Amino acid sequence: MVDIVGLDLDPPDKAPVLSCDEKSSIQALDPTQKSLPPFPGRLQTLTHDDQRYGTTTLFAAISVVDGLVISQCQPRHRHQGWLKFLRQIDAQTPPELDLHLIIDNYATHKHPKVLAWPAKHPRFHLHFPPTSSSWLNLIERWFRNLTDRRLRRSIFPQRGRAGAGDSGVRGPPQPRPPRLPLDRARRSNPRQNRSRQSRPQ
Protein backbone atom coordinates (compact mmCIF):
# COMPACT_ATOMS: atom_id res chain seq x y z
CA MET A 1 0.00 0.00 0.00
CA VAL A 2 2.88 2.39 0.77
CA ASP A 3 4.26 1.68 -2.71
CA ILE A 4 0.97 2.60 -4.42
CA VAL A 5 0.39 5.76 -2.36
CA GLY A 6 3.99 6.84 -2.96
CA LEU A 7 3.53 6.55 -6.73
CA ASP A 8 0.38 8.69 -6.54
CA LEU A 9 1.79 11.41 -4.27
CA ASP A 10 5.33 11.55 -5.59
CA PRO A 11 5.57 10.01 -9.07
CA PRO A 12 9.11 9.43 -10.35
CA ASP A 13 10.66 11.79 -12.88
CA LYS A 14 10.56 10.68 -16.51
CA ALA A 15 8.68 7.50 -15.57
CA PRO A 16 4.90 7.72 -16.19
CA VAL A 17 2.63 6.06 -13.63
CA LEU A 18 -0.36 4.37 -15.27
CA SER A 19 -3.37 3.09 -13.36
CA CYS A 20 -4.71 0.11 -15.31
CA ASP A 21 -7.70 -2.19 -15.20
CA GLU A 22 -10.60 -3.63 -17.20
CA LYS A 23 -14.30 -2.82 -17.16
CA SER A 24 -16.12 -5.94 -18.31
CA SER A 25 -19.71 -6.59 -19.44
CA ILE A 26 -20.33 -3.08 -20.76
CA GLN A 27 -23.73 -2.84 -22.42
CA ALA A 28 -24.84 -0.14 -24.85
CA LEU A 29 -28.61 -0.12 -24.37
CA ASP A 30 -31.23 1.35 -26.67
CA PRO A 31 -34.57 1.91 -24.88
CA THR A 32 -37.63 0.81 -26.80
CA GLN A 33 -39.36 4.08 -25.87
CA LYS A 34 -38.10 7.56 -25.15
CA SER A 35 -37.98 8.51 -21.48
CA LEU A 36 -39.95 11.52 -20.30
CA PRO A 37 -38.27 14.28 -18.29
CA PRO A 38 -39.21 14.86 -14.65
CA PHE A 39 -41.65 17.55 -13.60
CA PRO A 40 -43.23 18.49 -10.26
CA GLY A 41 -44.98 15.45 -8.85
CA ARG A 42 -43.37 12.86 -11.16
CA LEU A 43 -39.89 11.42 -11.57
CA GLN A 44 -38.18 10.79 -14.87
CA THR A 45 -39.66 7.77 -16.64
CA LEU A 46 -37.65 4.81 -17.91
CA THR A 47 -38.72 1.89 -20.04
CA HIS A 48 -38.77 -1.56 -18.50
CA ASP A 49 -37.08 -3.12 -21.55
CA ASP A 50 -34.21 -2.26 -23.88
CA GLN A 51 -32.69 -3.38 -27.12
CA ARG A 52 -29.46 -5.17 -26.21
CA TYR A 53 -26.53 -5.50 -28.59
CA GLY A 54 -24.17 -7.70 -26.61
CA THR A 55 -21.36 -6.74 -24.24
CA THR A 56 -17.76 -5.59 -24.52
CA THR A 57 -14.74 -5.29 -22.23
CA LEU A 58 -12.88 -2.00 -21.93
CA PHE A 59 -9.15 -2.15 -21.17
CA ALA A 60 -7.89 1.24 -20.00
CA ALA A 61 -4.85 2.91 -18.46
CA ILE A 62 -4.96 6.46 -17.09
CA SER A 63 -1.90 8.57 -16.35
CA VAL A 64 -1.81 9.60 -12.70
CA VAL A 65 -0.08 12.91 -13.55
CA ASP A 66 -1.99 14.35 -16.52
CA GLY A 67 -5.08 12.10 -16.87
CA LEU A 68 -4.33 10.88 -20.40
CA VAL A 69 -6.07 7.59 -21.20
CA ILE A 70 -4.96 4.65 -23.34
CA SER A 71 -7.79 2.24 -24.07
CA GLN A 72 -9.14 -0.49 -26.30
CA CYS A 73 -12.25 -2.66 -26.40
CA GLN A 74 -12.18 -6.42 -26.76
CA PRO A 75 -14.97 -9.00 -26.86
CA ARG A 76 -13.49 -11.18 -24.10
CA HIS A 77 -11.76 -10.70 -20.78
CA ARG A 78 -8.76 -13.03 -20.77
CA HIS A 79 -5.02 -12.85 -20.24
CA GLN A 80 -4.47 -12.83 -24.02
CA GLY A 81 -6.45 -9.60 -24.20
CA TRP A 82 -4.45 -8.10 -21.35
CA LEU A 83 -1.18 -8.91 -23.11
CA LYS A 84 -2.54 -7.29 -26.25
CA PHE A 85 -3.34 -4.18 -24.23
CA LEU A 86 0.18 -4.15 -22.75
CA ARG A 87 1.58 -4.21 -26.27
CA GLN A 88 -0.60 -1.21 -27.11
CA ILE A 89 0.75 0.68 -24.09
CA ASP A 90 4.27 -0.22 -25.20
CA ALA A 91 3.59 1.16 -28.69
CA GLN A 92 1.88 4.40 -27.58
CA THR A 93 4.44 5.52 -24.99
CA PRO A 94 7.97 6.87 -25.59
CA PRO A 95 10.34 3.88 -25.65
CA GLU A 96 13.02 5.61 -23.58
CA LEU A 97 10.74 6.02 -20.53
CA ASP A 98 10.17 3.51 -17.75
CA LEU A 99 6.52 2.72 -17.01
CA HIS A 100 5.01 1.99 -13.60
CA LEU A 101 1.68 0.15 -13.91
CA ILE A 102 -0.71 -0.08 -10.95
CA ILE A 103 -2.74 -3.28 -11.44
CA ASP A 104 -5.12 -5.13 -9.14
CA ASN A 105 -4.83 -8.78 -8.16
CA TYR A 106 -7.28 -10.20 -10.66
CA ALA A 107 -6.35 -13.64 -12.00
CA THR A 108 -5.90 -12.27 -15.52
CA HIS A 109 -3.10 -10.01 -14.26
CA LYS A 110 -1.39 -12.84 -12.36
CA HIS A 111 -1.20 -15.25 -15.29
CA PRO A 112 2.33 -16.63 -15.78
CA LYS A 113 2.60 -15.10 -19.25
CA VAL A 114 1.59 -11.69 -17.87
CA LEU A 115 4.06 -11.91 -15.00
CA ALA A 116 6.78 -12.81 -17.51
CA TRP A 117 6.12 -9.63 -19.51
CA PRO A 118 8.48 -7.37 -17.49
CA ALA A 119 11.35 -9.82 -18.03
CA LYS A 120 11.11 -9.27 -21.79
CA HIS A 121 10.25 -5.57 -21.43
CA PRO A 122 12.44 -4.21 -18.61
CA ARG A 123 10.91 -0.73 -18.71
CA PHE A 124 7.61 -2.12 -17.40
CA HIS A 125 7.28 -2.20 -13.60
CA LEU A 126 4.12 -3.82 -12.19
CA HIS A 127 2.71 -2.74 -8.82
CA PHE A 128 -0.10 -4.73 -7.17
CA PRO A 129 -2.16 -3.13 -4.35
CA PRO A 130 -3.25 -5.28 -1.40
CA THR A 131 -6.27 -7.54 -1.81
CA SER A 132 -9.63 -5.75 -1.47
CA SER A 133 -7.93 -2.38 -1.99
CA SER A 134 -9.04 -1.62 -5.53
CA TRP A 135 -10.12 1.85 -4.31
CA LEU A 136 -6.40 2.73 -4.41
CA ASN A 137 -6.47 2.34 -8.19
CA LEU A 138 -7.33 5.65 -9.88
CA ILE A 139 -8.79 3.94 -12.94
CA GLU A 140 -11.70 2.70 -10.82
CA ARG A 141 -12.75 6.33 -10.29
CA TRP A 142 -12.58 6.92 -14.05
CA PHE A 143 -14.72 3.83 -14.69
CA ARG A 144 -17.29 5.15 -12.21
CA ASN A 145 -17.46 8.50 -14.01
CA LEU A 146 -17.79 6.71 -17.34
CA THR A 147 -20.76 4.74 -16.02
CA ASP A 148 -22.50 7.65 -14.30
CA ARG A 149 -21.95 10.32 -16.95
CA ARG A 150 -22.05 8.37 -20.20
CA LEU A 151 -23.41 4.82 -19.99
CA ARG A 152 -26.25 5.08 -17.48
CA ARG A 153 -29.50 6.55 -18.87
CA SER A 154 -27.90 7.11 -22.29
CA ILE A 155 -29.33 5.96 -25.61
CA PHE A 156 -27.15 4.07 -28.08
CA PRO A 157 -28.65 3.42 -31.53
CA GLN A 158 -28.35 0.07 -33.20
CA ARG A 159 -25.25 -0.72 -35.20
CA GLY A 160 -24.88 -3.47 -37.79
CA ARG A 161 -22.75 -6.49 -37.04
CA ALA A 162 -19.48 -6.94 -38.93
CA GLY A 163 -20.15 -8.63 -42.24
CA ALA A 164 -23.90 -8.20 -41.96
CA GLY A 165 -23.99 -6.24 -45.22
CA ASP A 166 -25.60 -3.09 -43.84
CA SER A 167 -24.28 0.35 -43.03
CA GLY A 168 -24.79 -0.04 -39.31
CA VAL A 169 -27.03 3.02 -39.09
CA ARG A 170 -30.57 2.61 -37.90
CA GLY A 171 -33.19 3.93 -40.27
CA PRO A 172 -35.93 6.40 -39.38
CA PRO A 173 -38.32 5.20 -36.69
CA GLN A 174 -41.50 3.60 -37.88
CA PRO A 175 -44.66 5.54 -36.97
CA ARG A 176 -46.71 4.00 -34.19
CA PRO A 177 -50.44 3.46 -34.72
CA PRO A 178 -52.48 6.14 -32.96
CA ARG A 179 -53.89 5.18 -29.61
CA LEU A 180 -57.64 5.43 -29.18
CA PRO A 181 -59.25 6.69 -26.00
CA LEU A 182 -60.38 3.88 -23.73
CA ASP A 183 -64.10 4.26 -24.50
CA ARG A 184 -63.55 4.34 -28.28
CA ALA A 185 -61.19 1.37 -28.09
CA ARG A 186 -63.87 -0.67 -26.34
CA ARG A 187 -66.52 0.26 -28.88
CA SER A 188 -64.18 -0.66 -31.75
CA ASN A 189 -63.46 -4.14 -30.32
CA PRO A 190 -66.16 -6.49 -31.71
CA ARG A 191 -65.03 -9.44 -29.60
CA GLN A 192 -65.43 -7.46 -26.41
CA ASN A 193 -68.83 -6.18 -27.56
CA ARG A 194 -70.08 -9.71 -28.28
CA SER A 195 -68.89 -10.90 -24.87
CA ARG A 196 -70.86 -8.12 -23.25
CA GLN A 197 -74.01 -8.98 -25.17
CA SER A 198 -73.74 -12.67 -24.23
CA ARG A 199 -73.57 -11.96 -20.50
CA PRO A 200 -76.77 -12.77 -18.59
CA GLN A 201 -78.66 -9.73 -17.33
Give residue 201's pLDDT: 53
Please state, in angstroms and rounded to a whole number, the distance separating the CA atoms of residues 117 and 75.
22
pTM of model > 0.85:
no
The share of the chain scoring above pLDDT 90, in percent, equals: 19
SS3 assignment for 141-176: HHHHHHHHHHHCCCCCCCCCCCCCCCCCCCCCCCCC
Cβ atoms of residues 72 and 59 within 8 Å: yes
Over residues 72-131, the pLDDT tens digits come to 998 888 889 999 999 999 999 999 999 999 888 888 888 999 989 888 999 999 888 887
- Based on the number of CB atoms within 10 Å of its own CB, is 101 exposed (0-12), middle (13-18) or buried (19 or more)? buried
* Tens of pLDDT, residue by residue, the chain (201 residues): 677 777 766 777 778 889 999 988 888 777 777 777 888 888 877 777 777 777 888 999 998 888 889 999 988 888 899 999 999 999 999 999 999 998 888 888 889 999 898 889 999 998 888 877 777 788 888 888 888 887 877 777 765 543 333 333 333 444 444 444 544 444 555 555 554 555 555
Any idea how long the chain is?
201
Q: Based on C-alpha coordinates, what's the Rg of the chain? A: 26
Where are the strands (E) in 75-140, listed by range? Answer: 99-102, 124-127
